[in-house]
Structure 1
Amino acid sequence: MTTSSLRRIGASILVTATAAAGYVAAPAAVGTPESAGDRGTHQVTTWGASDDIAGGTLNDVTVRNILRTSVGGDDLRIRLSNANGDQPLVFDSVYVGKQQAGAAVVPGSSRQLTFSGRTTVRIPPGAMAVSDPLPGRIGAKESLTVSAHVVGQSGIITAHNRAMQHSYKSTSGDHAADETATAYQTESSAWFFLNAAIVTAPQQVQTVATLGDSITSSVATTIDENRRWPDILANRYAELPEHRRLAISNEGISGNRILNGVAKAGSAGANALSRLDKDVLTKPGVRTVLVLEGINDIYAGATADELIDGYRQLITRVHASGRCIVGGTLTPMGASFVYTPEKEAIRQQLNEFIRTSPELDGVVDFDAATRDPADPTRLKAEYDPGDGLHPNNAGSEAMGNAADLDTLRCS
């Protein structure tokens, strides 16, 4: 990171609008009654996803989401979202446990969340709710279940599509406290209403938000195996001493663009410029934004100048919030439906801007990590799942290993 970048960021950090903090995890009961305390700690997002819209509606069912933490911490809070809803959303029973397998919860690990001391929470359309903390500690890379009973009709469903993780819908009724998988007979590939998991961690631990599209969502990787490149990056940080770890919040939406797009059922989500604040900057502990976006804009006809202007707006707004922003070069698309020589030229122009712009606080060269040396417009054959665009497990591994770990620190 350059000295000018550090001067621009300054010494102060904006406190995010939505506070959060910790969780518990023990072998049979979720959590041990230890508190991190306030001294030398703060709230960080250990897991996150961006809000989109799932089709249909839900009525008197329980959804069981599965998430995996990136860093450990204390006093878990869960952030639930009705950001894209068209009517109030009511949950009267929300439980967190440790995943055993599929929809099954480790026996005895499930604990009920409260919201301002109550077990029922009503979330207005366009709003979110943050739970009270569950006292205790949870480790890094813990797979948790978050089960929530929807009272009545949900209206439009705020969800994260193509999650590369199965979630589960129950038969009719409240099954949030059930630790068996018996009632959860419908599998889904979306996270329902789940926006963030937040813990209290040492002050040095910060969150990196990866803002992107389907390549950041890692849609060509194996479902339920946490093979996304942000997961690989999180694994690397988890191996460091606690005071040197960074949390990762994956804010990719399949099909997303920097410039155009609005949230609607089956959509590619609201464009990055419009969702930056809600999906990234309001998540507790986010100190660095890593951007990898633009291929969908190129496919839709955006020019290099338009994309660079969009990047400059992201840079300006992230810096104005007191945070750092790192650019990720766009990966090859030469064997995909997106490719034409003209569109490849735009990708190259945008990558040149990302590699050389003094406005960014760092670069992760995903292009160099994944391209075929014999034909740099294409993914390496071993990274191509067959569509020429979305890196597979091996390609995702290469992307997750591409970043210098200190590049993502915002000192």
Structure 2
Amino acid sequence: MLAALAAVVILVSTAIFIGLGGDDGGTDPRAQGARGSAAPASAGAWVGTWSTSAAAAEPRTLRGLSGMSVRNVVHTSIGGTSARIQLSNFFSSRPLTITHASLALAAAPSNPTAAAGTMRRLTFNNRTWVTIPPGKAATSDPVRLAVPDSADLLVTTYTPQASGSVTYHPHARQTSYLARGDRTEDTAGAAYTQQSPYWRYLTGVDVWSKQAEGAVAVLGDSITDGITSTAGANHRWTDFLAERLRSEPGAPRFGVLNQGISGNRVLSDGTQFPPNNPSGLSRFDRDVLSRTGVKAVVIELGVNDILRIPHQTDPDRIVWGLKRLTEQAHARGLRVIGATLTPFYGHRGYTPQLDAVREQVNAQIRAGRVFDEVVDFDKALRDPISPLRLRPMFDSGDHLHPSDNGYRAMARALDLDHLRGRTAAEL
């Protein structure tokens, strides 16, 4: 009988661990802030300061990155007094065991060296390790750390064993680093000799803030991903938006969460299993609605539905998908600012017929039939007299992705009052 009772205790303890530490998918992120001895006792709230969307399984990583330390470099939008992270194993068919994880401020932008006195060892449900089942995510316990606005963080993980395909975000526009062996809490960056243009495993960073009013989550494609912005400079249009929210008088004190995936569509997933590049409709709950402290949503999607094969040539189908996203946000009491589809004249996939589909979608967006508010990115990137047009808005060669100045113009086109907008009851 005693042996049977002991077995029950072990099973219950394991279930609690998986529910709280190993799988973040079905829990309220605000409740997680109460866990762990490091949770702040004073007034405040958890809010997302940085995030990215898990896009696919990294090619040629069927055995994972065993025996390697992965040091991701990410840039905050808003600061706080404590922090926690989210790790994801969405695209692997095998459990991912992280035996060592840490968080620190970078000593210099895009640098793998930690600032003195900022290295923190991370735990998961008070354990120094976590096993994340396939298709799931895990959130760390909070650690006390003064996180500034607009600062680079170092999030490092180590896994000792083969774990299956690596869940990653390929177009980071930021250099991260790898080192052989467990160098997770190295403050010096000397061991991190291998550079990487990817973010691996890491999909979110939250901070505890007394000043933040919430976060705005941006669902988008490569234009939101910022794949032609200057690497390491944080010049995506969402970075320029975060700058406005920090500096403009009267602006809402929001974190900015970039949920862009290059090539993303409203309606269609990628072709692999599990689907790489999941559609806006299929990932909306995971990447937007479940993010910490989200108060408003911006949607910039639809161009790839038209441009990518098979071409979606029915504008009403694209509008239908955008409306479904808006309805899902409304069900959570969130308001939605929707972007017009940007121009692609000169792109290799351009045809007058496809551009006519884009214009028809934009006509319905501008008429107020899709979103609560509209930001006219199409106009922002066409305006020839913009004072910000110091060089062409498009300089990537394919006339689809903006230059840094184009991204800045997009951020300035957003009316910040729309982020506060109407109440959930009015919606």
Tell me the TM-score normalized by structure 1.
Answer: 0.87
Distance 1:263 1:174, change over 3 A: farther
Amino acid at match of 1:126: G
- 1 CA distance for matches of 2:188 and 2:271? 35
- Deviation at residue 263 of structure 1 after TM alignment: 7.1
Are residues 1:230 and 2:238 paired?
yes
Match of 2:214 in 1: 206
Matches within 5 A, 1:49-68: 49-53=52-56, 54-57=58-61, 58-68=65-75
- Rg larger in structure: 2
- Deviation at residue 56 of structure 1 after TM alignment: 2.3
Deviation track 1:374-399 (CA, whole Å, cap 9, x = no partner) reads 9xxxxx83433221110011111111
Bigger fraction of residues in strand: 1
Identity value in percent: 38
- 2 CA distance for matches of 1:338 and 1:260? 18
Instruction: List runs of 5+ in structure 1 lacking aligned partners.
Output: 1-14, 23-32, 375-379
8 Å contact kept, 1:34–1:137: no
Match of 2:85 in 1: 78
- 1 CA distance for matches of 2:212 and 2:154? 27
- 2 CA distance for matches of 1:221 and 1:209? 19
8 Å contact kept, 1:254–1:268: no
Match of 1:182 in 2: 190
8 Å contact kept, 2:39–2:143: no
- Deviation at residue 350 of structure 1 after TM alignment: 1.1
Match of 1:150 in 2: 159
**Which of 104, 127, 141 is equivalent to 1:97?**
104
Amino acid at match of 1:82: N
- Deviation at residue 359 of structure 1 after TM alignment: 4.5
Distance 1:16 1:234, change over 3 A: farther
- 1 CA distance for matches of 2:274 and 2:262? 10
Matches within 5 A, 1:261-410: 261-262=269-270, 264=272, 269-300=277-308, 301-302=311-312, 303-371=314-382, 373=384, 381-410=392-421
Are residues 1:115 and 2:121 paired?
no
Amino acid at match of 2:104: G
- 2 CA distance for matches of 1:364 and 1:270? 24
**Which of 222, 230, 239 is equivalent to 2:247?**
239
- Deviation at residue 333 of structure 1 after TM alignment: 0.5
Number of matched pairs: 380
Matches within 5 A, 1:153-164: 153-164=162-173
Amino acid at match of 1:127: K
- 1 CA distance for matches of 2:46 and 2:274? 33
Distance 1:56 1:166, change over 3 A: same
Deviation track 1:148-206 (CA, whole Å, cap 9, x = no partner) reads 001211311111111111111112x1011112222212211111111111112247611
- 1 CA distance for matches of 2:262 and 2:194? 22
Are residues 1:193 and 2:197 paired?
no
Distance 1:297 1:184, change over 3 A: same
Tell me the TM-score normalized by structure 2.
Answer: 0.83
Deviates more, 1:198-207 or 1:64-73: 198-207
Instruction: List runs of 5+ in structure 2 lacking aligned partners.
Output: 1-25, 386-390
